[in-house]
Amino acid sequence: MKYHFVRKIRLSLLVVLTLFGVSCETDSSSKHNAVEMVIDSVKGAHVPDKRIAIFEIDAEPTNDGYIVKGVTNIPEALEALQSELKKQQIKYIDSTEVLPSQALEGKVHGVIKVSVANLRGRPAHSAEMVTQAIMGTPIKIFQKQGSWYRIQTPDQYLGWVDSGGLALMNQIQFDEWQDSNKLIYTKTFGNSFEEADRASQMVSDLVFGNILRLTSEKNDFFEVNYADGKKAYVSKSEAAPYQAWKTQLPYSKEALVATSKKMLGVPYLWGGTSAKGVDCSGFTKTVYFMNGMIIPRDASQQVHEGVLVDVDGDFSKLVPGDLLFFGRKATDSTQEKATHVGMWIGNNEFIHSAGDVHISSMAPNAENFDEFNRNRYLRSKRLLNQKDKGILYLKEHEVF
């Protein structure tokens, strides 16, 4: 009798403790979910695209609230997060860092010093290549991890580059570089030399759009300096003083087509934005850059720029230079997704990077008819000579 009575007490106590434990765990989980919802909400409102903005913040539970930690380069987003946490009376200790990192010791600027630098999604050579930056590109530097730097290019794209690809600069050094005369390389591929002589030792390779400091001229060569101070000579037949080149740009559909055909046969490269290899949007980006326009990096970003030309497949509305977008069409359960882009060149044809840079046709009876892309066509946009938030004109902005 005594045994059964004690057993009942123990069982009752166990039930109470179990229920209490579940209650505490549920309450704790609910609070943490609330914090995560606040972070996600602020991120969605202030940083809708992680390709161009950093907001890597999370909350770690403590006995008396949370430690909010991480990094961001958007101070307004952090302020909004702090305000909302306070509003919801959530106790926290702020352990976040607003980039650029103090560890950079003022060297928060830089210039790409190799012909083509590969930018990765993580600070490792084994990580996905997300984009490229070509020689002379001015960059913002946000973080350092080992020998890797997290940078942002003029099109606002973010990535990690190893130290061999850039010259670090403080504000004074960067301003001095930006104020100097420049040279732009206008041939698809080539080299610079130690002397004003093609028979001399090569200094480096060069590609379309590379920018160097112009110091003087010697016979048929320009004398230049790299961002890291190296001296070299570049043939005048393959380059032009940047300011003169910029002011003479025609901003015409004919020029866009001519530039695009100079890249015929360049191999497809995921993340590529240079004459060494291009993905679809890297190709259109390069063509537009060599015609004085910096446009967004990816097809899913480019599709939001310019003015709408066609959505019905009426290609008679298009003019050379218009961009055609392809991908997944919207359904009742899925959103539209632009995954491929090409450029119209006239005569029912467009040029694009898929396998390599080549010309395809929208005419079913043509030998180069691209049935696959015709079936996933979304729309066409006109960016040339249009004003939009994502289009930067070199004639109007001192990018270099």
The per-residue pLDDT for range 12-38, each reduced to its tens digit, is 444 444 444 444 455 667 767 889 999
The per-residue pLDDT for range 52-74, each reduced to its tens digit, is 999 999 999 999 899 999 999 99
Let me know whether 170 and 217 are in one domain.
Answer: no
Let me know whether 72 and 197 are in one domain.
Answer: no
Distance CA 205, CA 234 (A): 11
* pLDDT number for residue 29: 72
CATH code assigned at 46: 3.30.1340.30
Let me know whether 80 and 118 are in one domain.
Answer: no
Among candidate residues 247, 269, 290, the one where a domain is terminated: 247
> Any idea which residue has 């209650």 for tokens?
23
The average pLDDT across 36-44 equals 94
In a domain, 398, yes or no: no
Highest mean pLDDT among 2-6, 34-38, 45-49, 143-147: 143-147
The per-residue pLDDT for range 142-200, each reduced to its tens digit, is 999 999 999 999 999 999 999 999 999 999 999 999 999 999 999 999 999 999 999 99
Let me know whether 266 and 317 are in one domain.
Answer: yes
* pLDDT number for residue 28: 62
Let me know whether 18 and 50 are in one domain.
Answer: yes
Let me know whether 274 and 337 are in one domain.
Answer: yes
* pLDDT number for residue 48: 87
Closest CA to 345 of 376, 380, 312, 395: 380
Give the list of residues 6+ apart from residue 224 with CB closer than 8 angstroms, or none.
183, 192, 212, 213, 214, 215, 231, 232, 233, 234
The per-residue pLDDT for range 203-257, each reduced to its tens digit, is 999 999 999 999 999 999 999 999 999 999 999 999 999 999 999 999 999 999 9
CATH code assigned at 270: 3.90.1720.10
Domain boundaries, position 331: 253-393
The per-residue pLDDT for range 311-338, each reduced to its tens digit, is 999 999 999 999 999 999 999 999 999 9
In a domain, 323, yes or no: yes
Among candidate residues 247, 264, 298, the one where a domain is terminated: 247
User: With a threshold of 0.75, does the pTM exceed it?
Assistant: yes
Distance CA 4, CA 157 (A): 72
Among candidate residues 134, 158, 178, the one where a domain is terminated: 178
> To the nearest whole number, what is the mean pLDDT of the chain?
93
Percentage of the chain exceeding pLDDT 70:
92
Would you say residue 396 has pLDDT above 70?
yes
In a domain, 370, yes or no: yes
Let me know whether 215 and 288 are in one domain.
Answer: no
Let me know whether 158 and 113 are in one domain.
Answer: yes
Let me know whether 261 and 370 are in one domain.
Answer: yes
Count the domains in the chain: 4
In a domain, 399, yes or no: no
In a domain, 400, yes or no: no
Would you say residue 284 has pLDDT above 50?
yes
Q: Answer whether 72's CB lies under 8 Å from 98's CB.
A: yes
Let me know whether 297 and 371 are in one domain.
Answer: yes
Q: Answer whether 344's CB lies under 8 Å from 320's CB.
A: yes
- Which parts of the chain fold into alpha helices (H)? 2-46, 75-87, 171-179, 242-247, 253-261, 280-289, 299-302, 371-375
SS3 of residue 85 by DSSP: helix
Let me know whether 281 and 231 are in one domain.
Answer: no
* pLDDT number for residue 25: 52
Burial per residue of 220-234, b for 16 or more beta-carbon CB atoms within 10 angstroms, e otherwise: ebbbbbbbeeeebbb
Instruction: List C-alpha distances in Å: 376 to 163, 312, 325, 373.
Output: 41, 12, 9, 5
Distance CA 342, CA 355 (A): 13
Distance CA 77, CA 27 (A): 28
Burial of 359: CB neighbours in 10 Å, binned 0-12, 13-18, 19+: middle
* pLDDT number for residue 3: 41
Amino acid at 12: S
Let me know whether 65 and 75 are in one domain.
Answer: yes
CATH code assigned at 145: 2.30.30.40
